[in-house]
Structure 1
Amino acid sequence: MLHYCHYLEKKSVAYLADALIQHYTAHPDYTEIVVVCIGTNRYTGDSLGPIVGSQLLEKLKGQRRVHIYGTLENPVHALNLQKTLSLISQKHGRAYVIAVDACLGQFYKIGTLQVVEEPLQPGVSLDKQLPPIGHIHIKGIINNYGPLNHKVLEHTSLTFVQEMAGVIARILERVAQAIVPQLADEQALPRDSNSQATR
């Protein structure tokens, strides 16, 4: 199922957060939350995920049942995605995984945030074959899809991406606040997960 809203709409945070919370509630057998923010700090258009990750790391500091992978300092991208997924599988075997990524779309959809109730297929806009990730994902349409997608990613407004990332971070902060009290018995967590949110 697809839920979408323009990031500037007043209802965007509440509406999309509620969609994520309802999806979790239908699958409540998890002990922690993992947010994987896909992207790179090399192109402004592809920095949406890492910016979200960095903001979330600050917002959820001290929340040891939420783990963040993919920040501006330590991005998760095509070259290390498989390694990151293996690490998550080993350390967070019973985690509810939310993926975040930028994407390209039709011109009139630029600025739209989408919550999609299925795994993320990263790299589709650039014709990359990467493994799927997440139980659910959030995408932000940052620019127009076309024949020169690499150039589009390079020339996307950083201010626009930062504003959209701020909204996504607020959505996920709200989701974490709602879901954490509902997580399964913490005794089921691995011994090494007593740390703060990790990158």
Structure 2
Amino acid sequence: MAQQLSSGPEPQPQSQMTGIVERNIKALLERRRQEKKAKSVENRIADAITRFTGSMAFVYIHLVLFGLWIVWNLGWLGLKPFDPTFVVLAMEASVEAIFLSTFVLISQNRMTAQADKRADLDLQVSLLTEHEVTRLVKMVSEIAKKMNIEEAYDPEIKELEKDVQPEKVLDTMEEQQIKKGLQNKKEGT
């Protein structure tokens, strides 16, 4: 009897991994919804203003308003200029820039705080993962030794079995940055 060749992989039922990914996505979306709901009125206003001022609609409105202001005050509309030296226009634009930059900074500060929280979460997950992998390396190494597998005696395995100490990694990174900074000063860059 001839064996049938399949044209592709068999359809698989939804894997447990897919369920975990979906759960994580839902949890993250729920967290974002909660954070959005918990934002203060001031932050909501700052975000709305920042969102609007970062849009093309804002640019178009300013093109029309400033264009009309300039054309009017150049006398091209046949109307009496109300700001012939454009001092009022410059002052208005300066005050607007002050307020807009403040709103942008408020939004950026909040976004930085959120990014810091996410970075802390990433670090915690990475440290937990590293700890779990270290334990797995130890376990597999012991199994390999019992089975008398040559690779179990590789000196690199002993190094991989050690837990990473984050404070030492950070210290090493800082030392390297200091050395690089001193080297750049020496080279004049």
The question of a shared fold, defined as TM-score above 0.5 by the shorter chain, is answered with: no
For normalisation by structure 2, the TM-score amounts to 0.23
Could you say which structure has the higher helix fraction?
A: 2
Q: Which has the larger radius of gyration?
A: 2
